[in-house]
Structure 1
Amino acid sequence: MNSILKMGIISALISLLFSCKEQVSPLSEDYYKKSGAIYFIPGGNGFERGARKTVADIASFSVIKDVYARDKDHLYFMGCPQQLVDVNTFQLKNKIPIDQQHVFKFEGFASATSDCSQNQLTIIEGADPATYTTLYHQLPALAKDKTHYFYKDQPLHVDYATFSVVNSNFVKDKNQLYAVTDKGILSLDYKTDHIKALNALYILLDDKKLLYYEPYQGIGLLEIEIPSPNKIKFLNEKTVLIDQLVIISGKKFGYPEVDAGSFELLEGSNGNALWSRDKNHVYYEQQIFTEADPKTFEVLKFAVAKDAKHIFIGNKIFNGPDVKSFKKVDKSQVNHDFEDDLGNKYWYQTNKGQVLLVPVTKK
């Protein structure tokens, strides 16, 4: 029997097994009755997403909402009886699982096929179920109850009465400034008398210090002394012009003499300034590119650009095509990326991070 036939038979048997199932409640598409038992079947698709036969008492079983259900003895999450939850007082309070004594969280990857020991709700230590609420509209993973703030389910050691969110990167209380990191809230050695949020990522202290926090690649806190904050302009969330400074992702632009008044980003995202220019120069990855003319320069596609005299791949001149007619084409119409009026055609390719223009071989 070949493998394709075997798979077909297995699929048919699984489909037959669950074809007679009955959805328990319109409150959930995950719980079903079948052959005198309760099954947890995500979305009712047991073939693709797996199925779990529960130990639930069918006579007292009821759905709470979605993956949550109960019988006379247990609360069920993903079809698994929960060990720490009081079934009699459990409820979903604004989608937050609580009972009379505790607020709960789930850490891990919920699955209908994994062992129930891996699908257990755990307690958020110190959280008051009567007053606990999420503050995700202010900051992802932030919550509070009547006495504590919590970040990523951990209580924060901050002054409760004066705690506030400054922006996505910073929070504060009357005593201190804190950075929002991917692991928790980091205490910083700054006072908070005069703090101004410039946007979602940058703050200004005492009109003198610009602060930015980069959570990735171990970069952390970045600080820049600002001569004066008289003129502030954002080109995007990470790129700000302050008087004569060009600042990208919390760092001064790589070429110190860049003209902030005429500076513009031409290509790049996420704080990556691939191509940029001012009235005097073109810049590639924040370094001056003297071969390019800022008045006639244009980006064609990512690292590929041209001016009146040259075609460029990054900071290298690319020779061969006719510069004047060289252009990017619509790939839905042709099987290449660039062409000129002399019949030269090229594919755009990358190899180990390097951009290549590969000639299309003429037949």
Structure 2
Amino acid sequence: MMNNIVTMGLISTLASLFFSCREQVSPLSEDYFKKSGAIYFIPGGNGFERGSRKTVADINSFSVIEGVYARDKDHIYFMGCPQQLVDVKTFQLKNKVPIDQQHVFKFEGFASATSHCSKNQLSVIEKADPETYITLYDELQALSKDKSSYYYHNQRIAVDYATFEVLNKNFVRDKNQLYLATQKTIHPLNYTVDQVHCINREYLILEDKTLLYYEPYQGTGILETKLTSAKQIKSLDEKSLIIDDLVIIRGKPFTYQQVDANSFKILGSSGGNSFWSRDKNHIYYNQQLLVEADPNTFEILKLAVAKDANHIFVGNKIFYGPDVKSFRRVNKSSANYDFEDDLGNKYWYRTNKGQVVLAPVNKK
């Protein structure tokens, strides 16, 4: 055991000595360094944790372009690897997009300072025009275009160029069709596009009759809600709406159908899931009615823990034991537990198999 510790310490010391005697090539990059008459690619300068690559670059003509891109008289370098498909003389980064006179390039894979250079090669985006190619990531992640085509995840997509538009982060359209933008592709949908109302980054209404929402997780896909009317629309957050008398959470009508839409409010949420909500009559946890909860005295203490004048709630269950009146959340800077009361009860906030529990701190 002691020998292993000594060996690891020696390796660490030698590595530190090796990388300490180096010179950063340019302020344009923290990845390229001169060392012992050679150019090294060291991601972020942290060779001990992230590895390093001794390049074949000519040190006299070597210069950094930006970040992981560099050049010498013979090659363009990406992650310290000479590129095979790139024209050295005309290569440039155009708004951070790698291009040369004839091509737009992409990198697909996992770049690493320790993998073989055959794994760190730029490839060509087929038929993309380098002179007019631009990214549209501020409109839709992974979307780009040139003078004649749109591209999604670097793949040319078959849409009508003149009428194509981004509606929100999930939906796009052209004059012919509505499309769903998934994490991988643009998928055509069988909906007309004559009358489309974009509510926010998540929701669309078609012809004031059909509400659309995309849920990518667990293979759910498109959620469709038929509307009797859409006269008044209120967006509570990106995933929560009130349309006339209908409360919509994550693309579905509120579970408790008698919820009062006019007074409905979201009180606390996490990760897009509505934890606590209320209307003038009731408190709800994950859309479940809490009959015992008093809306007038209800307060959230921490995530799934709340209380009113008479009860402490952990999720949709009443928690018995502490003194309700004095039960409170603790300032974590002064204690290593989460809740306490005036009777000396102390509790940690814990999760067990997805369920929140208040675990008592053992009294001494």
The alignment's TM-score, normalised by the length of structure 2, stands at 0.94
Larger CA deviation: 188-197 vs 283-292 = 283-292
The CA deviation at 1:271 is 3.2
Q: CA deviation at 1:207?
A: 1.6
Match of 2:342 in 1: 341
Aligned equivalents of 1:22, 1:326: Cα separation in 2 = 59
Q: Which residue of 1 aligns with 2:268?
A: 267
Q: After TM superposition, give the deviation of residue 196 of structure 1 in Å.
A: 1.4
Amino acid at match of 2:4: S
Provide the secondary structure at the position in 2 that maps to 1:229.
coil
Q: CA RMSD in A?
A: 1.8
* Secondary structure of the structure 1 residue equivalent to 2:8: helix
1:95: which partner in 2?
96
Kept after mapping to 2: 8 A contact 1:248/1:271 = no
| Structure 1 position 359 matched with structure 2 position 356 | no
SS of the equivalent of 1:7 reads helix
Matching residue of 2:287: 286
Quote the Cα distance in structure 1 between the aligned partners of 2:330 and 2:25. 56
SS in 2 for 1:2: helix
Aligned equivalent of 1:169: 170
Matched, 1:192 2:193: yes
Which stretches in structure 2 are left out of the alignment for 5+ residues? none
Matches within 5 A, 1:1-363: 2-363=3-364
Which amino acid letter does the alignment assign opposite residue 86 of structure 2? V
Distance 1:137 1:150 in 2: 14
Contact 1:298 / 1:305 at 8 angstroms: preserved in 2? Answer: yes
CA displacement 1:296-332 (0-9 Å, x = unmatched): 2222222222222222222222222222222222232
Q: Distance in 1 between matches of 2:227 and 2:312?
A: 38
Q: Report the Cα distance in structure 2 between the residues aligned to 1:161 and 1:299, rounded to whole angstroms.
A: 51
Find the aligned partners of 2:70 and 2:288 in 1 and give their Cα distance: 60
Instruction: Report how far residue 12 of structure 1 moved.
Output: 2.6
Q: Aligned-pair distance for 1:122? A: 1.1
Deviation at residue 254 of structure 1 after TM alignment: 0.6
Secondary structure of the structure 2 residue equivalent to 1:162? coil
Tell me if structure 1 keeps the 8 A contact 2:199–2:235: no
1:153 is displaced (CA, Å) by 0.6
In structure 2, how many angstroms separate the alpha carbons of the residues matched to 1:173 and 1:186? 13
- Distance, in Å, in 1 between the alignment partners of 2:87 and 2:104 is 11
Hey, what's the Cα distance between the residues in 2 that align with 1:36 and 1:306? 68
**In the aligned structure 1, how far is the partner of 2:309 from the partner of 2:332?**
24
Query: Kindly tell me: are residues 345 and 21 of structure 1, through their superposed partners in 2, closer, same or farther at Cα, counting changes over 3 Å?
Result: closer
**Alpha-carbon distance change, 146 to 359 in structure 1, aligned in 2, over 3 angstroms:** same
Could you list the structure 1 runs, at least 4 aligned residues long, displaced by more than 4 angstroms after superposition: none
Q: Render the CA deviation track for 1:158-188: whole Å, top value 9, x for unaligned.
A: 0000001111111110001111111111101
Structure 1's 226 and 14: CA in aligned 2 closer, same or farther, altered over 3 A?
Answer: same
Q: 1:19 is matched by which residue type in structure 2?
A: S
| TM-score (normalizing by structure 1) | 0.94
CA drift of 1:219 comes to 1.3
Question: Aligned partners of 1:138 and 1:170: how far apart in 2?
Answer: 11
Q: Distance in 1 between matches of 2:234 and 2:63?
A: 57
Return the offset for 1:43.
3.0
Distance 2:296 2:66 in 1: 62
Distance (whole Å) between structure 2 residues aligned to residue 291 and residue 21 of structure 1: 68
Larger deviation, residues 289-298 vs 180-189: 289-298
In structure 1, the gaps of 5 or more residues are none
